Amino acid sequence: MAKWPKSIPWKAGKRKDWTFENGYEVSAFKHPGSKGFKENKWELVILFNGDPVDLNRNFEANILDNYIRLNRGIYGYLHDPDVDRIIKMIRNLQN
């Protein structure tokens, strides 16, 4: 697992935030009510300019289709390696 940012207390749980030079941001969180909390899994949102976004299908077809999409740019029930994989993909996207 790559080095993750420090957890921030959030909604009686925790959140981790990544900001990338390409303009994308990712927040991963576990709190009561998040999808996967009871299973100790992450929910994650992909942001661009502060808004949740779905990626161009050319990018997401190979990776994000493997995960449960809950809403625009939001995925749930993710294990740590899943979050790592998505973070790596977002970091490498060209804007």
Q: Are 28 and 44 in contact (CB under 8 A)?
A: yes
Residue 83: pLDDT over 90? yes
- Is 25 within the bounds of a domain? yes
Res 2 pLDDT > 80: no
Residue 75 domain flag: yes
Q: How does pLDDT run across 14-37, given as a tens digit for each residue?
A: 999 999 999 999 999 999 999 999
Is 2 contained in some domain?
A: no
Number of domains in the chain: 1
Q: Is residue 3 part of a domain?
A: no
Q: Domain range spanning residue 32? A: 9-37+45-92
Which pTM value belongs to this model? 0.88
Angular region, 59: left φ>0, alpha ψ -120 to 50, beta rest: alpha
Model pLDDT, residue 3: 84
Q: Using alpha carbons only, what angle is made at residue 40 by residues 16 and 52, rounded to the nearest 5 degrees? A: 45
